[in-house]
A and B are shown apart, each in its own frame.
Chain A
Amino acid sequence: MTPLALATRPAVRSWLPDYGVYLAIALLILYNVAFTPYFLEWSNLRIQLVQVAPIVIVALGMALVIGTEGIDLSVGSVMALAAALIPLYLGYGVAAAIVVSLLAGVVVGLVNGVLVARVGLQPIVATLAVFVGGRGLAVVISDGQLKEIRNPGLINLGSGDLLGVPVLVWITAVLAGVVAFVLRRTVFGRRLLAVGGNRRATELAGVPVARVLITVYVACAVLASIAGLLSVARIQSSDASAVGLLIELSAITAVVVGGTPLTGGRVRILGTVAGALLMQLVTATMIKHDLGPSTAEMAQAVIILVAVYVARERKTR
């Protein structure tokens, strides 16, 4: 090995998992600007951003859970529950419907959190129960029917604009900012990372670990229910059997591609947002070039593998 290689390799190694996702996005955008007609059109960017918004919101919560060395499989079902509850309570006003769907998130989060933190189940098992049962319950609540939404307030949330930017995108950006702030600047955020880094040590330091974990799962589920209600607002209909289907996988992908290690103790919020954007861009690029969704999925698989491989380098150091 040459001296130069010795000097540069470790630097690249620590740099790549942290910033690789931005590099990939930049490259993909450059490619699209050069080869994809109408890519830079605002209408195209709008569609991409609106489509990716629910994934980003769910991924924010997922990133927090993964930061505690956990995982939450129930997010898709929480979206479905939130979606199913909205038409039932819309009669009492938009606010009531929103509150009820958020409450559903709180309840599910509490169940997940208590199972993980107090009962001591493994997160993947604890959240599997709601993953399986939650959507079923949502379908029962909605009688298995697709329900149209005509409430103008709700529809405005899903398709309205503010200063020329979709409300959905504003909400997503604000949520990302809030989550990033909470993580960096609050007692809860610091404790979350410590729990993920070394739960036993954090416990001995007198940190109420169970409370931190329960809060994390509640936050994740509430974010998922927000994503659920925004999806309903955007599609202008509630279909419990379709809303948020397989979104847990997209969310986990976004988190991992964004450079957050599954081993906990470290969370990258901007990276997570970028991870979701990258996957969206890949799909969009493929579609614009007449490559089917299956090709896009394979490309995504490659990206996931690369992300995991790059992260592995850091771990073995």
Chain B
Amino acid sequence: MLGQKRRCASRAMLAVPLMLLMAVTAGAQVHLNVSKAFGQKVIVAVPLFELEGGTIVDAAAARDVIEFDLGHSGYFSIVENREFVDETEIDDRISGRIAFQEWSALGAEILVKGKIGGDLSEVYVEATIYDLAQGKAIFGRRYVGSREQWRDAVHNISDDIVFKLTGETGIAKTKIAFVSAVTGSKEVYVMDYDGENRRRVTRQDAIAISPDWFPGAEELAYTLIRESRQECRRASISGSGERLTAFPGLNAFVSPSPRGDEMLMSLSKDGNPEIYRLRADGSDPRRLTFGRSTESSPCWSPDGRRVAFVSDRAGVPQIYVMGASGGTPRRVTLQGNYNTSPDWSPKGELIVYTSRISGTFQICTVDVETGETIRLTSGAGQKEDPSWARDGRHVVYSVKQGGKTDLYMIDIYELEPVRLTSGAGDYLSPAWSD
């Protein structure tokens, strides 16, 4: 129980969580045995967070965030009947103890009890996670930050729950970069992975395209088209930026390496669009492909030793893989006549890409080793620009339908698209941070 309240004295942000309770389970790092793919989901009850101090933050919103996070993690399902959950929680608060059997009777296996409080300058969020079958707390966490950071605090708790209970890295703290033209010019924006906290990154008043993250979720590389020239730029989400390349012709499809010290691009400075590998500051371009076809959209394998890219050497765009220093490419997409926009899973051998199927762009994966192809999306609407989350399980992509483009994410094991954006304007070219 969260009997005693410990205020974090430091106003330093959320980087250092305070552990309230140590894990009770003896030495076990992973509390539950949740299978990665199609395993049965663990059922979680999330009662309304307790409010302490001034009502700075909406306690109901905090619960919504944690339910969205856990419900879309792939490992958990949420007890749906909120009325019963709320009644049980009220009983708990009146009695001052946790009625484990009552919670279990709702079908729950895990209980997440949260508190949120603070004042205008500082907000804290804490949660204790209980194993209902054992009637024990598993762990507790508390995060402190500025008032605007309460969502980050809740996302942190979600990722802690995923990691403690499954051993997998969650995605609740990740961000998605995208392009929007709501101001009239195409600019790069960043939002939390759940579509909240949208903020503008670039102010170039031109055409920004194809953002991609450097490791660490603080900096992006992108291409800017301005006054009949392309350049590749780096932008920090705090607002600073600099030019990385401005070669004649194409300066496109920049892809920072997994270690962040290099990047891949397509350049046409030597007369034809080819794949080049450069230092992260844009210097020392080394050409990796040699031919007369169109080489575009390079991306790294997670170990940085291979490169996937698009080539029309067979007459139509297909996806190929080669060594990160070049060599003979091997074609990996063998179905369809228009396969573009590859992104390599951070967890292994799957490449996600856009495939034209019966005149409509759909999102597919192909296994680099086996060649097995799986289609993730269906139906009307042009789906483009897929990008993996760091869990190698979720993919974000854009869907153009009815003249408007929005971002969706999909769990490759569940295949139920979740819309992340709404409101005016188009949301294009998403890139998921690590």
* A and B: bona fide binding partners: no
B residues sitting closer than 8 Å to A (CB atoms) are none
A residues sitting closer than 8 Å to B (CB atoms) are none
